[in-house]
Structure 1
């Protein structure tokens, strides 16, 4: 769902938000053309086997039989009926998916999905995510954060550091860098979750002083930037200066992930109830990823990993990094969204690039570009109506999409 249009006094100036954000949640449902929509926050994308089963049953019983994986590793349930809100909340609560009804929309925490599985990175950011979530839900003041405020916890490899977090933590050897806006400080690793919480408090203080109703750090006007060093020191955390440069690496590709885990992608970011159950069949933890995929843990050995990849491939999941469909996404489009100018899911094509996967590509039904990748470069495909699109800014007929998208996915092509 798009944000409420802000008032912008002058071009280039931060917006003025005169109301709270309208982000849907699991308790605040959004009315769409295909029924009610619920967005369920999953800190670090983590689901137990039981929780996966509950989600599969809920979408079958109350929704359209599928879930959408968002660019933050959360899930959306679509096609919900008018009167199902109470039953939905009850079933999610019983599964431990709604630990705090007052804070359910602010639990936006992305963490490196491969942390602890492949021998790379520093620090247990998955553990940090659980601790930060508990801290968020336990503090009444954190409910003032918007449903768009984002915490990013990177284990040092740089896979999620560039996802535009309002508070970003980068793990190192015994320490962690905390980034808020353009300011970066270093703190002891043991204080990482508390540091993230204190940094969020610094943002709220700055937002109140600025008075423009900012939902995110980048919306604060010049001269009202948060002061994370002071906030962290006030929380009793030792603070040191740090370099601003952050690590960057490619997202985890589909396939084996260390000796006991694997990663697959959901076609166009959607998972059927059957695919959800297949992900949990091994009995391990499932981590939904910001690349609209899932990491499956708890496999016995490399042989078990290979067998499970074959089984998940049979369910229609993307298991091969060479698949042209890897990195291809789309918004809801018609008929689910009234603002869309096309059925973008039906029109989406992979744009096969011989020899490599190519840049990510996102099909949007309108200029809002809902759900577009949080990547440095991606191919922007936007419907303009009457069977036409803009592919990386170039007018293209629907019938010419395969060739146009393939050409645009080559890294040297013009991208957004």
Structure 2
């Protein structure tokens, strides 16, 4: 599929950059109905097994005993008591999860989770992720970026290229890369060795544009939708390639070097500390690394085929998703009640009941996201099924980047069938 997200027109609906950026972070906690929330940025979704254990301990001893993932491959702790920020910050620094207090909310980097694992793609973009993160944290100017600004590093398979990032790098053959700005339909060719530097230049040029024009925008798509004003004069632009958009499937992932990855889904992106500790143990048996995905899952790289089989059984028994045909695959939901006061329903409870009665898929189902209100927090990009709570039940529709959705109003009891039909839409 082509990496074109849902359209958002610039103009009066654009957020007012004059108001303070309220995006939660690891040090600026957000108050929710179930306590404080902390969002820990994980550039590229990368965690060491030791860092997973540190996060699990923090969730158990300070929070509600769970960690949840976000649509940008980050991790959140919920149910935190008031006044725990200093202790949480100290724990995160000790684990290497806060390399810079001043930059922690702008370290928004997604990367292809299977890069360097399955033999597909043109580059192991985890190297780019680490290089980009280090450069952002070393720069003074980057602190002016908002907590919403996003970098996407795609290894060429076309997965994270569709996540509506502000700056997207797509690896191509012959040690080259494409640089896409906002929602531009074209890209610039850059040498792979210069890819991170060019991404940083684009972000810095965006801040310069805001200063020079007085534009009030959080993201490139709001200030320069087609990327024309941020494209250096004389730079030749090329059309974006058609990308497959293939997302990681649950289960073992064979690699060309005899090693396997293991892709596990987390129910609604939320798992208890015991499950996270199992993931840390699996990671220690592999490359010592865990990759949190933007699709509410986690990838363990570097396992032998025998260990991949063993861990498939253990993680399945622990309640994680290892079956690519399960209706739970690519099923997401916002917090809903009782954690969010704006929600009209217990969307996770309703979604769990709908999924429990759904038949296994014969083929790949569309992603689905249950939302408790019109904000649709955490919804996916691209084509997906929107199950929106209303005072009378739900409205269900397939949302596509290039077409207005047609909603079907249902009762809560009818919603499961409506979602199941919509997810099989091609």
Q: Provide the C-alpha distance between the structure 2 equivalents of 1:224 and 1:156, rounded to a whole number of angstroms.
A: 21
SS in 2 for 1:83: coil
Q: 2:310 aligns with which of 301, 304, 307?
A: 307
Structure 1 partner of 2:243: 247
Structure 2 partner of 1:147: 147
Contact 2:62 2:80 (C-alpha < 8 Å) held by counterparts: yes
Q: Structure 1 residue 209: deviation in Å?
A: 2.5
1:256-290 deviation digits (Å, cap 9, x = unpaired): 12232110110111121011111111302100001
Which region of structure 1 is more displaced relative to structure 2, 221-230 or 119-128?
Answer: 221-230
Let me know the Cα RMSD of the aligned residues. 2.0
Q: Provide the C-alpha distance between the structure 2 equivalents of 1:9 and 1:197, rounded to a whole number of angstroms.
A: 26
Structure 2 partner of 1:26: 26
Q: Provide the C-alpha distance between the structure 2 equivalents of 1:61 and 1:123, rounded to a whole number of angstroms.
A: 39
Contact 1:361 1:409 (C-alpha < 8 Å) held by counterparts: yes
Structure 1 partner of 2:266: 266
Contact 2:326 2:360 (C-alpha < 8 Å) held by counterparts: no
Structure 1 partner of 2:403: none
Q: Provide the C-alpha distance between the structure 1 equivalents of 2:241 and 2:18, rounded to a whole number of angstroms.
A: 34
Gaps of 5+ in 1: 1-7, 234-238
Q: Structure 1 residue 223: deviation in Å?
A: 9.4
Contact 1:27 1:85 (C-alpha < 8 Å) held by counterparts: yes
Structure 2 partner of 1:180: 181
Gaps of 5+ in 2: 1-9, 398-406
SS in 1 for 2:260: coil
The structure-2 alpha-carbon separation of the partners of 1:215 and 1:246, relative to structure 1 and needing over 3 Å to count, comes to farther
The structure-2 alpha-carbon separation of the partners of 1:352 and 1:21, relative to structure 1 and needing over 3 Å to count, comes to farther
Q: Structure 1 residue 49: deviation in Å?
A: 0.8
Q: Provide the C-alpha distance between the structure 2 equivalents of 1:246 and 1:211, rounded to a whole number of angstroms.
A: 35
Structure 1 partner of 2:386: 380
SS in 2 for 1:143: helix
SS in 2 for 1:297: strand
Instruction: Say if 2:372 is the partner of 1:365.
Output: yes
Instruction: Say if 2:301 is the partner of 1:297.
Output: yes
Q: Structure 1 residue 243: deviation in Å?
A: 2.6
Structure 2 partner of 1:190: 193
Q: Provide the C-alpha distance between the structure 1 equivalents of 2:248 and 2:217, rounded to a whole number of angstroms.
A: 33
Q: Provide the C-alpha distance between the structure 1 equivalents of 2:226 and 2:408, rounded to a whole number of angstroms.
A: 39
SS in 1 for 2:160: coil
The structure-2 alpha-carbon separation of the partners of 1:113 and 1:354, relative to structure 1 and needing over 3 Å to count, comes to closer
Q: Provide the C-alpha distance between the structure 2 equivalents of 1:370 and 1:250, rounded to a whole number of angstroms.
A: 23
Contact 1:57 1:273 (C-alpha < 8 Å) held by counterparts: yes
Task: Work out the number of aligned pairs and report it.
Answer: 395
1:91-146 deviation digits (Å, cap 9, x = unpaired): 00000000010000000000011011111111221000000000000001000000
Q: Structure 1 residue 228: deviation in Å?
A: 3.6
The structure-2 alpha-carbon separation of the partners of 1:119 and 1:34, relative to structure 1 and needing over 3 Å to count, comes to same
1:288-330 deviation digits (Å, cap 9, x = unpaired): 001110000231x212111111110011000010011101110
SS in 1 for 2:101: coil
Instruction: Say if 2:162 is the partner of 1:162.
Output: yes
Instruction: Say if 2:348 is the partner of 1:345.
Output: yes
Q: Which has the higher contact order (CA 8 A, sep 6+)?
A: 2
Structure 1 partner of 2:329: 326
Contact 1:180 1:226 (C-alpha < 8 Å) held by counterparts: no
Structure 2 partner of 1:205: 208
Structure 1 partner of 2:58: 58
Structure 1 partner of 2:106: 106
Structure 2 partner of 1:3: none
Contact 1:49 1:280 (C-alpha < 8 Å) held by counterparts: yes
Contact 2:35 2:81 (C-alpha < 8 Å) held by counterparts: yes
- TM-score w.r.t. structure 2 length? 0.88
Q: Structure 1 residue 160: deviation in Å?
A: 1.1
Q: Provide the C-alpha distance between the structure 2 equivalents of 1:169 and 1:90, rounded to a whole number of angstroms.
A: 33
Structure 2 partner of 1:400: 414
Q: Provide the C-alpha distance between the structure 2 equivalents of 1:221 and 1:373, rounded to a whole number of angstroms.
A: 22
Q: Structure 1 residue 18: deviation in Å?
A: 2.5
Contact 2:331 2:367 (C-alpha < 8 Å) held by counterparts: yes
Instruction: Say if 2:421 is the partner of 1:411.
Output: no
Q: Structure 1 residue 249: deviation in Å?
A: 2.4
The structure-2 alpha-carbon separation of the partners of 1:337 and 1:222, relative to structure 1 and needing over 3 Å to count, comes to closer
The structure-2 alpha-carbon separation of the partners of 1:329 and 1:92, relative to structure 1 and needing over 3 Å to count, comes to same
Residues 130-145 of structure 1: matches in 2 within 5 Å? 130-145=130-145
The structure-2 alpha-carbon separation of the partners of 1:211 and 1:221, relative to structure 1 and needing over 3 Å to count, comes to farther
Contact 1:318 1:325 (C-alpha < 8 Å) held by counterparts: yes
